[in-house]
Amino acid sequence: MQQLTSTEMRKESDEFLLRRVAQRDTAAYELFYDRHAQAVYNLLVRILFDKSVAEELMQDVFWQVWQKAGQFEGTGAPAAWLLRMARNRAIDQIRRQRARPVTAYADFDSFEQSAEFVVHDVEHRVEQSWQRQQIQQVLAGIPDEQRLCLELAYFEGMSQREISDKTSTPLGTIKTRMNMGMQKLERMLRAIGYP
């Protein structure tokens, strides 16, 4: 396993870090922990309403990451995988508390549905953020003229005519750049796993 400096490691993706964790790289594990511990803790507190239990479960979740990093399949964002593990640990904790009548939640089913909603919302935001990052990385690999046309069209809602006027470029050139840019974007996105 190639040794990386901490600066080099910080630039790496979560997927890379999980591969390294699966190989028992403690530096990669610590960096993954630093990146995601606060989000895991916040989710656990939102589900459990108990900071001390959330802290304890957070440590369990990250121990599970250490043990199961090799099981991450690479579909979706690693952060979403991590948050699903956290949610599952929280639900297990609630079920254990339910088994003890003194500390059971009065309405476990509605509480569980509420927890599912919170987790789904967080997972959805994490997945959107991950997809945005992936698309931005892909866009960075498209030639500047083509990328500019795509960004003006899709992020600023400009028509091809408006792009032509704004950039003082013939309309036919704009159409060609957009067509070529879309083809490159599609190929690059397929290459990283988008359908």
How confident is the model over 98-107, as pLDDT tens digits?
A: 766 544 444 5
Q: Which CATH architecture has domain 8-130?
A: Orthogonal Bundle (1.10)
Query: Higher confidence at residue 8 or residue 161?
Result: 161
Does the structure show a pLDDT above 70 at 195? no
Q: Residue 67's pLDDT band (boundaries 50, 70, 90)?
A: very high
Is this prediction's pTM over 0.75? Answer: no
pLDDT given for residue 103 in this prediction: 43
Q: How far apart are CA 29 and CA 25, in angstroms?
A: 6
Domain with CATH 1.10.1740.10 in the chain: 8-130
Residues of the chain with CATH 1.10.10.10: 141-195
40-54 tens-digit pLDDT:
998 888 888 888 898
> Could you confirm whether domain 141-195 is CATH 2.30.30.90?
no
The pLDDT score that the predictor gives to residue 104 is: 46
Q: Are 175 and 189 in contact (CB under 8 A)?
A: no
| Tokens encoding 10 | 């910080």
Sequence-separated (6 or more) residues with CB below 8 Å from residue 77: 14, 126, 127, 129, 130
d(CA 28, CA 32): 6
